[in-house]
């Protein structure tokens, strides 16, 4: 039987492995759509998650700002 992990556990394990996370790769890699909400909860629990703002170009050629999280 496979033990289910919570979204917060998956995010924390991902970050503890030294990897970064964005909303897009949280969906692709962890199956978590509302990553910003889980990040907020983890921060409220005392985890020292850093947020970096990046400017990227979307598929329509527009500049948009995204968050990238790391420990």
Predicted pLDDT of residue 4: 80
Q: Which domain holds residue 36?
A: 7-70
Q: Find, among 54, 52, 46, 44, the residue nearest to 70 by Cα.
A: 52
> How many domains is the chain built from?
1
Report yes or no on 2 lying in a domain: no
What is the pTM (predicted TM-score) of this model? Answer: 0.86
Report yes or no on 57 lying in a domain: yes
Six token digits for residue 26: 């949280």
CB 26 within 8 A of CB 68: no
Q: Going residue by residue through the chain (71 aa), what tens digit of pLDDT does each one get?
A: 567 889 999 999 999 999 999 998 999 999 999 999 999 999 999 999 999 999 999 999 999 999 999 99
Predicted pLDDT of residue 1: 58
Predicted pLDDT of residue 61: 97
């Amino acid at each position: 039987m496979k033990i289910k992990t919570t979204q917060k556990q998956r995010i924390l394990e991902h970050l503890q492995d030294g990897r970064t996370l964005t909303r897009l790769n949280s969906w692709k890699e962890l199956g978590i759509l509302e990553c910003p909400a889980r990040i907020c909860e983890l921060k409220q629990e005392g985890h020292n998650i850093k947020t970096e703002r990046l400017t990227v170009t979307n598929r329509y050629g527009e500049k948009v700002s995204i968050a990238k999280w790391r420990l």
